[in-house]
Each structure stands twice: as structure tokens, then as C-alpha cells.
A and B are shown apart, each in its own frame.
Chain A
């Protein structure tokens, strides 16, 4: 935990609790951008009572609208699909890992392997983007990315990201 404090502010140390074994998808099956967004989003919705499954199409559309403005595929195989939605009451985070890699129209043209999705409420203040930025900061370390791709269990992924 101590080594994570250089990346996470105190406020987001609390948000790290959002990353649990239930929100990890170790072996994504999707092979294209839209499918992978849908796959991770469905796992978030199925794991919470906060979001009405009837609204999943709306949220999916909001995620795609954000992608249409500018892809959230960053560099070095990382993507951070996210959106703010009126159908969400609290922030949700999920992490997906694709061993084969998916074309996510990333900035550097490479395929993406690690996906961090966040869904946050539209009308509430909170360190939503700050949290994403701080996770991205952690994943900018190549050794951590390599360890994530080698992870065998969900618990291992949580340990690598949160340091617990």
C-alpha cells in the first residue's frame, strides 16, 4: 500500500476500494472495440444493484459517444473507456485484460491489452478523472503492465494495482 501513495492522493486511496476481485475480467473474449466496451460494461452492471440493467443500452451509447470524440486508447496497450451518465449514482470501476490485444484506435497505433473502465454520475462532484489519471500513472510503468499480463488470478490483479 505504501508504494501506491506516491501515485494516489489520499482521497483516491479510498476509491481504490472500488477495485475488487469482482470487478476484474482476466480473460476478455471480445475481439473488437465495441464488443470489449460492452463486455466490461455488462460485467459492471451485473455486479451492482446501483444500475438498472434496463439502462445498459443508454450507458453503452454514452461510452461510444465519448469514444467517437477521441479514442480513449492511450499508449503502451492501455485504454480507459469512461463516461458520465445520468443512469449511474456512484462511481464504478472495472479492469479487463486481453492477452491477444484489441485494436482500440490507440494514439500510438498499437493494440490494447489493459482496459480500465469507469462509469461516474453526471451531476455529482468527485475525483473521477483524477482517479483515472492516477491509475494511468501507475500503468505507465512497464514492469507493472507486464506483471498484469502475467497475472493468473483476479486477486493478483487487485494486488498489483492497489498494492494490497
Chain B
């Protein structure tokens, strides 16, 4: 469809000797750029409004924006001289391949960053409790999520691809949403906090393996014939094998990889190369028959314990902010309310089951792991949000043609409802005391503080900058945290110091065994200040400098 606008604006670009396909490509690119323009603007504004006025996560605003402007709503309206901006397509994915590709790249970035956010050390410490809790939630959610399709006539048995997929979608847990709430409430270090996180990570891993098995089973089922259990066993072994091999290899090689990357001495280059590696592993995991997001997550997890993790998050923040709303918006565009109308009741029942299976399935095992009912409830609520993980799983199902638009709509509805319901419940449940039998057991390292007091805030501010620079010169990574009181995390390999600048005070928290390193770097910097004071004395008097600056003012 060559429009008047296209001719008007793109004629100068067209080469008379261009091959016949050029105009098509040009038109396709123009369409993509216009679609992206609308998506970026609408999704960002939608997310902003949702956060500001409805006090919900911006992700929901982005999803709703997608639903509104998508091919099943406003997107199908004819724009004069152009046609529909998002024409509905006759395929399992109702948006263009180019747009969907961008959403996939965004999902890889999202899971890579989720992996980076995982605190490996705490995760290991609470991994047993987390695994038991995660497994409980997974089993409950999978079987009930799959079984509920039978009374509603959506599937004949739980071996039906639609039932298997709805079971898998119900198992997902969004680490990002839970983690964000925990860190805002400063509960990341609590026993419940780390157990939720460890369980959510276990859930992700196990859920991904379940997904691989389900995709394999569904493909066999869809192709007809008997289900080949040895083939499924092979898929399961490949999934578990790939996960374990790359996770172990990643964790063992992470420090070596980063020490090689550090030779570039440029944070921008390091971040770009790490993202490249994440995409490489993502591609490999796809070749191994798993979803690409697994590879990206493994890479993130491997790098999560290195000293460049904060730099990576900082560097990729911009790309994240730009691409992630596009992903959620495109996911929203795939919602076909027309197809969902017939399954609205089922969607609500399925969403309720999704909430209950996590609260009970994770809460009951938590009570076996020394948590009080209060603590168990916190963990249960923490596992409820499905967020992007359920959407990605559902996206895989719909793009491979294994689930229909109606089931996809149900998955989106469940993902949205659980994401809306869980945060207020989780926040409310964290009011009150400890949720551990016999009181709280916080994870604490053997640390000590070095406190320095200066004559004024501005002197402390100046010296704080100098000290941070001294650490940078010693090849530490310095990362400013977004807190009210200026706080910096200073990292190198397994060493982590925290520097807090509070008015005229500077406090450095250091693990006892590395205190000598911190003391020596700070001492040397403070001694060089003497040189600075001497050189300040040699400066021209402020008066004469002032006079020079003022000359010619009027």
C-alpha cells in the first residue's frame, strides 16, 4: 500500500535505479518507525499516569496502553492517507514481525537484568527453604491451573496443549515486581524477603524447564500420534542439562570474563559486550530447544556476583527504559477482547486459582520451614505476581500456535490481575513483627565502620569526591545509590564497601577482613590533601581573582 504521504516524504530517498524491493522495505521501515513512535509515547505516558494516579506499577499502564492502541482496538481504525496503524494480521501474532522482534529483544534484556538483580549469596543461603517453597507453589499452580480447563470445556484432559500451557503460565513468578516492593519496603534482607527471592528464582528456573517440557509435549501432541515419553525425557534432560551446564560454567567463569572485559577500561564497552554475551547465550539456549530468555537469565545470574554488576545496571538503564515499555505495550496489543469475551468467567476463575495456589502452595511449605503463619502469608503474597514471565510464556504459546487467542487473553488477564492484587497485599502483610519462629534471623556479614568527621558539609562533600576517586584509581567500581543521604557502593571482586556522606560526616562500612585496604586508600587520600592546602595558599588572593572576574561585567 503506497500512500500519498509515503510518496510525498520518501520520494527524495528513492533511487530510480533501486531494486524493486526497496520501496517495500522503505514502506515497512516507515511503518515500523511510526508504530514505534506511537508505542513509545503512549506506553510511557500510560505507565506514568498509572504510577502517579493509580499508585500501581507502571507496567500495568504500559499493558493497558497496548490494549487500547492495539490491532483489536484503536489500532485497526483507518487513518486518512495511511490506513490502520496496527492492522490486525491473520497469524498467531497479531503484530508485524519487525515489531515482535523488538519485543523479543526487550524480553531478553529484561531477563538479563533480572538475573543481574538476583543476589546470589543470599539466594544460596536460603536456597533450600526457597526451593521447597518454590516447588510447593509450582506443583499447586501447575496442576490446578491445568485442571481448571477441564470443567470449563477448554481442554479434554490436562495433557491437552492448552491445559499444559495454562498450567505452565500459572507457575510463573515475576522476580522483578516482588523484588522492587521488597527493596522499597527495605525487606530485602529479612528471612521472608530472601526466601521469596530464592523461591521466585527457583520458580523461574523450574518454570522454564516445565515450559521446555510442555512445548515439547504440545508439539508432539499437535503433530498427532502417541506421546513419545522418551522424547520428552530427552527434552527434559536437555533443558536441565543446558541450565545446569551454563549456570555452573557462568558462575565459574564470571570473574575471568569480567577481568578480561575490564581490560577495555570503558564501562560503556563492558556493558555492551556483556549484553552481547547475554544475547549469544540466549541464542544458544534457543538452539538447545529452550526459550531465549533462559540464556539471558543465566548470563545475568552469572554476572550478578561480579564487581561490575552495578555498572552494567547503570549502563543498561537507558536501553531498559526505552525498550521494556515497548515489550509490555506489544504484549498488551496481543489481547483480543473479542476472543476473550467468551472466556471472561473462566479468566476470572483462573486468576483466582492463580492467586490461591501461590498463597497456599508457597505458604504451607513455608510453615514447615520455620515460618509463622504471618511469615508464610508474606511469602505466599510475594509469590503471587506473574508479571512479564507469564506474558513471555503465553507469548511463546501463541506464537508457536499451541494456544489460541482466547487462552492468550486469559493469560494476560491473569497476569494483569495478579500483578495488581499482589503489591498492596504484600505491603500490608509486612506490617507487624517477625515472621520467623523464634524471631528474625537476618543475614549479616562481619562488618565494621570507619567514621570521619569534617568541619563542614562542603568540606565533607569535597573530600567524599576525592575518596571515591581514590577508590576508582585503585580500580574499584563506584556506584551511587538513589537514596536521600548520598550513599555509594564501592566494589571490586568480592570486596564491597559502603560510603555514606551525611552532612559533615563520612562513614565507610567495610568487611572486617578488608578493613586494611579501605583504611590505607582513605589515609593516603587525606594525606594528599595537605599538598592541596599548600597549593591553595599559593593561589592569588580571592579578592584579586574576584576583581579579574568582575572586570568587563558592565
Cβ-defined contact, A69 with B473, below 8 A: no
Tell me whether B255 and A126 are in contact (CB under 8 A). Answer: no
Residues in chain A within 8 A of chain B (CB atoms) = 9-11, 66, 69-70, 125-130, 132-134, 136-137
Q: How many residues of B sit at the interface, in one of the four size bands?
A: 10 to 19
A136 and B493 contacting across the interface, CB-CB below 8 Å = no
Residues of B near A10 (CB, < 8 A) are 255, 259, 493
Given A9-B493, A9-B495, A10-B255, A127 and B519 touching (CB < 8 A)?
A: no
- On chain A, the residues within 8 Å of B517 by CB distance are 129-130, 133-134
CB-CB contacts below 8 Å: B514-549 with A: 516-517, 519-521, 523-524, 527, 530
Interface of B is mostly: helix
Min C-beta distance of A91 to chain B, whole Å = 12
Contact yes or no, B495 A127, CB < 8 A:
no
Q: Which residue of A lies closest to B519 (CB)?
A: A133
7 residue pairs, one from A and one from B, having the closest CB atoms: A133-B517, A133-B520, A133-B516, A69-B527, A129-B520, A125-B473, A129-B521
Other than the known A9-B492, A125-B472, what 14 A-B pairs have Cβ atoms closer than 8 Å? A9-B494, A10-B493, A11-B259, A11-B492, A70-B527, A125-B475, A126-B473, A126-B475, A127-B474, A129-B474, A130-B474, A130-B492, A134-B516, A137-B516
For the complex, give the distance between the alpha carbons of A129 and B520 in Å.
Answer: 7
List, in ascending order, chain A residues with CB within 8 A of B523's CB.
70
Cβ-Cβ contact count across A and B, 8 Å cutoff: 48
Residue of B nearest to A69 (CB): B527
Interface string of B495-510 (1 = CB under 8 A from A): 1000000000000000
Q: Which residue of A lies closest to B530 (CB)?
A: A69
Could you list some 20 contacts between A and B, CB below 8 A? Answer: A9-B493, A9-B495, A10-B259, A10-B493, A11-B475, A70-B527, A125-B475, A126-B473, A126-B474, A126-B475, A128-B474, A129-B474, A129-B521, A129-B524, A130-B521, A132-B520, A133-B516, A133-B520, A134-B516, A137-B516
Distance (whole angstroms) from the CB of A143 to the closest CB of chain B: 18
A127 & B475 in contact (Cβ 8 Å cutoff): yes
CA distance A137 to B494 in the complex (A): 17
Rounded to whole angstroms, the CA-CA distance of A132 and B516 in the bound complex is 9
Across-interface contacts of B520 in A (CB, < 8 A): 129-130, 132-133, 136
Select from chain A the residue with minimum beta-carbon distance to B517.
A133
The minimal Cβ–Cβ distance linking B510 to chain A, given in whole angstroms, is 11
Question: With A and B bound together, what is the CA distance between A132 and B524 in angstroms?
Answer: 12
Cβ of A117 to closest chain B Cβ, rounded Å: 15
A11 and B521 alpha carbons, distance in the complex (Å): 17
Q: Please report the C-alpha to C-alpha distance between residue A164 and residue B130 in the assembled complex, in whole angstroms.
A: 42
Would you give the shortest CB distance from B514 to chain A, in whole angstroms?
8
| A69 cross-chain contacts in B, Cβ below 8 A | 527, 530
Residue among B255, B473, B493, B517 with the highest chain A CB neighbour number at 10 A: B517
* A9 to B496 alpha-carbon distance, docked (Å): 13
Interfacial residues of chain B within 478-495, with CB under 8 A of chain A in the complex: 492-495
Query: How far apart are the CA atoms of A55 and B44 in the complex, in Å?
Result: 61
Closest beta carbon of chain A to B448's beta carbon, Å:
15
CA distance A110 to B527 in the complex (A): 23
Q: Report the separation of the CA atoms of residues A127 and B493 in the bound assembly, to the nearest whole angstrom.
A: 12
In the complex, what distance in Å separates the CA atom of A126 from the CA atom of B262? 12
Contacts of A128 in B (CB 8 A): 474
The closest CB in chain A to the CB of B521 belongs to: A129
Docked Cα-Cα span, A69 to B473, in Å, equals 21
**CB-nearest residue of chain A to B262:** A11
- Give bound CA distance, A10 to B494, whole Å: 10
In the bound assembly, the distance between CA atoms of A10 and B259 in angstroms comes to 10
CA of A126 to CA of B495, assembled, Å: 15
Cα A118 to Cα B416 in complex, Å, equals 61
Report the Cα distance A108→B64, complex, angstroms.
70
Q: Once the chains are docked, how many angstroms separate the CA of A137 from the CA of B495?
A: 15
CA–CA, A132 and B474, complex, Å: 12
Instruction: Kindly report which residue of chain A lies nearest to residue B528, judged by CB atoms.
Output: A69
What residues of B have a CB within 8 angstroms of the CB of A66 in the complex? 527
Which of A9, A66, A128, A133 has the most chain B CB atoms closer than 10 A to its own CB?
Answer: A133
Chain B residues lying within 8 Å of A126, measured Cβ to Cβ, are 473-475
A15 to B208 Cα, complex, angstroms? 43
Residue of B nearest to A123 (CB): B473
Partner pick for A136 among B474, B475, B516, B521, CB 8 A cutoff: B516
Q: Which residues of B contact A129 (CB under 8 A)?
A: 474, 517, 520-521, 524
Measured between C-beta atoms, what is the minimum distance from A44 to chain B in Å? Answer: 20
In contact, B516 and A125 (Cβ under 8 angstroms)? no
CA distance A70 to B517 in the complex (A): 18
Q: Kindly state the separation between the CA atoms of A136 and B517 in the bound complex, as whole angstroms.
A: 10
CB closest chain-A residue, reference B265 = A125
Name B472's closest neighbour in chain A (CB-CB). Answer: A125
Task: Identify the closest chain B residue to A80 (Cβ).
Answer: B520
Specify which of A10, A69, A129, A134 lies most central, judged by the most chain B CB atoms within 10 Å of its CB.
Answer: A129
A127 to B494, CA, bound (A): 14
Interface core residue of B259, B494, B520 (most chain A CB under 10 Å): B520
Residues of B within 8 A of A70 (CB): 523, 527
**CB closest chain-B residue, reference A65:** B531
Cα distance, A130 to B494, chains bound together (Å): 13
User: Of all chain B residues, which has the CB nearest A128?
Assistant: B474
In the complex, A97 Cα to B70 Cα: how many Å? 78
Q: Across the two chains, which residue of chain A brings its CB closest to B494?
A: A9
Contact with A along B459-487 (1 / 0, CB 8 A): 00000000000001111000000000000
Instruction: With both chains docked as a complex, state the minimum distance between the C-beta of A112 and any C-beta of chain B, in angstroms.
Output: 17
In the complex, the chain B residue whose C-beta lies closest to that of A68 is B530
